[in-house]
Amino acid sequence: MTLLLLLACKPKEVEDTHGEKSPIEDVEVTERWTVPGLTCDAQVVRTAGNVPHIYAKDRVDLARAYGFTQARDRYFEMELARRLGQGTLTEILGDAALETDMESRSTGMTWVATNLNATLSEDEQAIFDGFAEGVNAYLALVRTGDMPLPSEIEIAGPFLGVDDPTELLVDWTRADVAGVAAVLVYELGYET
């Protein structure tokens, strides 16, 4: 089954100025969300196995749509990865994660995240910012109740000592995206 999620740059339809019909227009739109910052509509086509295929005007809009889609599918995993890359798991998991944070810092993972963030080109900064903005657009919809809270966050809330699990949702920045990238560098570049 093919599903189309339309991420709109504006609440109303954007007119096609070329007059050409795209094959993607034959797929029925099953959802529509407004994502701040998009310069044009982006489409997320989900195919068999719920695999998302993202179509966007440019790389920054693609990053924005990808951040939204990935956060919707895997927010809790992303949250843990960014905190691992920044050595800040103890902020939500307490002393149980202290040894992991110390390892992240001693192996240089946090240095990689900081250095990566500091050396991004302007184009790379825009892409990292776009991804973070997509994640934040998803989080805003969760906070307003327009999208469900990730089940892991809902379950973890009471264990982490918060009455309102949405308090665990922290907006992302370019540095957070770099933290996740540092985890990937570590996992793909080190034998442990």
pLDDT of residue 146: 94
pTM listed for this prediction: 0.86
pLDDT in tens, 26-52: 777 888 888 888 998 888 988 888 889
Q: How far is CA 98 from CA 15, 94, 160, 179, in A?
A: 53, 7, 15, 17
pLDDT: is 140 or 165 the higher one?
140
pLDDT in tens, 59-88: 999 999 999 999 999 999 999 999 999 999
pLDDT of residue 10: 58
pLDDT of residue 14: 45
What DSSP string describes 126-166? HHHHHHHHHHHHHHHHHHTTSSPPPHHHHHHHHHTT-SSGG
pLDDT of residue 168: 87
- The mean predicted confidence, pLDDT, of the chain is 86
**Residue 123 scores a pLDDT above 80:** yes
Q: How far is CA 127 from CA 78, 107, 121, 130, 181, in A?
A: 17, 27, 10, 5, 13
pLDDT in tens, 178-187: 999 999 988 8
pLDDT of residue 13: 47
